[in-house]
Structure 1
Amino acid sequence: MYEERPSRLTGAVVWQRTAQERAVRPVLPDGCMDLLYSEGRLLVAGPDTRAYVPVGPPRAWTGIRFFPGTAPALLGVPAHELRDARVELADLWPAARVRRLRGRVEASRDPAAALEEIALDRAAQSAAPDALLRRLVECLDGGRAVAATAAELGLGARQLHRRCLTAFGYGPKTLARILRLQRALALARSGVPYAEAAARAGYADQPHLAREVRELAGATLGELLGHEAVTAPAL
């Protein structure tokens, strides 16, 4: 079973998944990064550019998913260094600190709340999220073109690309593609016909949407949504 709730950390989501025997669906690119806990391990899920398919036996997971562009400042690591990767937190932070944090989670009656407290503590010690990056996500998620967004934000193409690599793990065009895919999927999940979902999300037509789903999610739209109907997400 999968459950999530808004975090006390602005823009973040706290989630939990219990172990189950059924196959799990792939994790799709969404512009986010996660801090994870499972079976005594603290990990970071970096930004994905393609579907991530979990391997190994089913297990329970707890995580906090950060709003796009906000995790690198909390972790102290540029997003592009974690692109398409799942990394032990001890590879990023001092091992002694990670052992203490792991102990906090393991001793808590609510691992999700303990993980959230770790994120809140880290946020209190870090610089505030860059308002420009949040505006960038809002513009691209609203369907604005990359060039128009850069002009609106007063950024040159190279500067925008460099800031996106640090914050999101990839350039603005990839971020725009991922956000557009998520818009289309949300519409299709709500029952909007595929052709209409494609048009409303900003695709040229339904075949364009189909090609993007195949490339970014590794499945057809029908396969993807049918799989989601009977399984729960995992990392």
Structure 2
Amino acid sequence: MYAERAARLAGAVLWTNSPERSGPGRVLPDGCMDLLWHDGRLLVAGPDTRAYLTDGEGGPWSGIRFPPGTAPALLGVPAHELRDRRVELTDLWPASEVRRLTARVRAAPDPVSGLEELALRRAADAEPPDPLLRQVVAALDAGRPVAATADELGVGARRLHRRSLAAFGYGPKTLARILRLRRALALARAGTPFAETAARAGYADQAHLSRDVRELAGVPLSELLGRAG
């Protein structure tokens, strides 16, 4: 069973997942990075460019999902170094510090509360998120073209690409594509017909939507949602 709620850290989401069945799972790209707790370990989920297939490792998972572009400042590592990866926190931070933080999460009332406190402490010591990144996400999520977004924000295309790699893990075109997929899935899950979903989410047509879903999610849209189009 999966459940989530807003975290006290602005824009972040706390979640828990206790799979009811063993076997591989599918995590769709969302432009975000997560700090994870599983089996007494702290891990980091980097930004995905395609659906991430889990290995079916059993037991409950907990996590805090950071809004796009905010995790690198908290973790101290550029997002592109973690692209399409899941790594132990000890790969990024000193083992002694990770042991101390692991003990804090273990001593918390529940893992998500421990993760939330950890994130709040890191945020208090880190530089605030670059407001430009929030503007980039907002513009691309509204369907603005990348070139127009760069012009409107007063940054060159190459500079925007470099800053996007560090903040999001990939260039703005990939981020725009992933955000468009999220818009489409929200519409389709609400029962919007696929053709209308494609038009409202910013695809050229339904065929374009279908191709993008297959490439990013790895399965057809109808299979992903468990219904006919």
TM-score scaled by length of structure 1:
0.94
- Distance in 1 between the 2:2 and 2:189 partners? 17
Output the amino acid matched with 1:123.
A
Partner of 2:13: 13
Q: Which moved more, 1:147-156 or 1:55-64?
A: 55-64
Tell me the CA shift for residue 58 of structure 1: 2.3
Matches within 5 A, 1:138-149: 138-149=138-149
- Distance in 1 between the 2:141 and 2:22 partners? 33
Post-superposition Cα deviations, 1:89-113, rounded to whole Å, max 9, x if no partner, equal: 0110110000011011112221111
- Distance in 2 between the 1:32 and 1:66 partners? 6
Matches within 5 A, 1:63-212: 63-212=63-212
How many pairs were matched up? 227
Partner of 1:233: none
Q: Secondary structure at the match of 1:181?
A: helix
Q: Please state if 1:30 is matched with 2:33.
A: no
- Distance in 2 between the 1:176 and 1:19 partners? 30
- Distance in 2 between the 1:198 and 1:186 partners? 11
| Maintained 8 Å contact 1:46/1:79 | yes
| Maintained 8 Å contact 1:6/1:14 | yes
| Maintained 8 Å contact 1:20/1:58 | no
| Maintained 8 Å contact 2:24/2:56 | no
Post-superposition Cα deviations, 1:118-159, rounded to whole Å, max 9, x if no partner, equal: 000000000001111001000000000000000011010110
Relative contact order higher in (CA < 8 Å, ≥ 6 apart): 1
Q: Secondary structure at the match of 2:173?
A: helix
Output the amino acid matched with 2:115.
L
| Maintained 8 Å contact 1:28/1:52 | yes
- Distance in 2 between the 1:156 and 1:52 partners? 32
Post-superposition Cα deviations, 1:148-205, rounded to whole Å, max 9, x if no partner, equal: 0000110101100000000000000000000001100000000000000000000000
| Maintained 8 Å contact 2:25/2:56 | no
Output the amino acid matched with 2:67.
F
User: Which runs of 5 or more structure 1 residues have no equivalent in the other structure?
Assistant: 228-235
User: Which runs of 5 or more structure 2 residues have no equivalent in the other structure?
Assistant: none
- Distance in 1 between the 2:15 and 2:202 partners? 30
Tell me the CA shift for residue 56 of structure 1: 3.4
Identity %: 69
| Maintained 8 Å contact 2:36/2:64 | yes
Pairwise CA RMSD? 1.1
